[in-house]
Structure 1
Amino acid sequence: MAARILPKTPTDAGRAQTTPRRASGAERAMAEARQAGLLEGDSTEHVSFRAPKALIEAAKRQSGVTKPTELGLLGLAMLAQPDPAASFLKKTRGNLGKDHQLDY
């Protein structure tokens, strides 16, 4: 899922320009999984499960994914990658900035 460019849009002068679209969270997750080598090799593992239709539809809407296989890969990619916010919070737990004072 590479970042895409939006179609050309007219400007005030009548010229067309391309506007880059910000990559979605789904696209970033897949790109990070690809960079980490998690999507390399043959797809030999089979995963099958049942889920509530409302959950599947909401996940498709939120991610922009339309195919069940892509949705499954996206979910696995998001679970396999560490959360950068969680890593930061664990690393800095109990540490305040040197200029920070607690007022009681």
Structure 2
Amino acid sequence: MADILQFPPNRTPAPEPEPEPLWREALGRSLRAAREEQGDRLVDIAERAGISPQYLSEIERGRKEPSSEMIAAVTGALGVEFSTLLIEIAGDVRRLRRAATRRPTGPVLLAA
């Protein structure tokens, strides 16, 4: 039976697979991007949403996974459609997932 040889020989261990992108991180990036795009300050959005600036900051940094009510309050304060936010997050997670699974591979030779 033929052996499968990697060419050139793999001298370094394969990198660990990237972890799956987290929903809360994608949510935070989208919320922060929307806030910054509008030129709003974190404290202003937090006040309009009825939450503390510290909590909003943790949401934006992907440290907290807010309830649907909190997300609705923040998107309302931003004037962003919830469905638009979900579509943006889905695209973000999809892009990150593709980037994490793409691995360059070298040619493989079969030896008799």
TM normalised by structure 2 equals 0.30
> Normalising by the residue count of structure 1, what TM-score does the alignment of the two structures yield?
0.31
Higher relative contact order (CA closer than 8 Å, sequence separation 6+): 2
> Greater CA radius of gyration, 1 or 2?
2
More helix, by proportion = 2
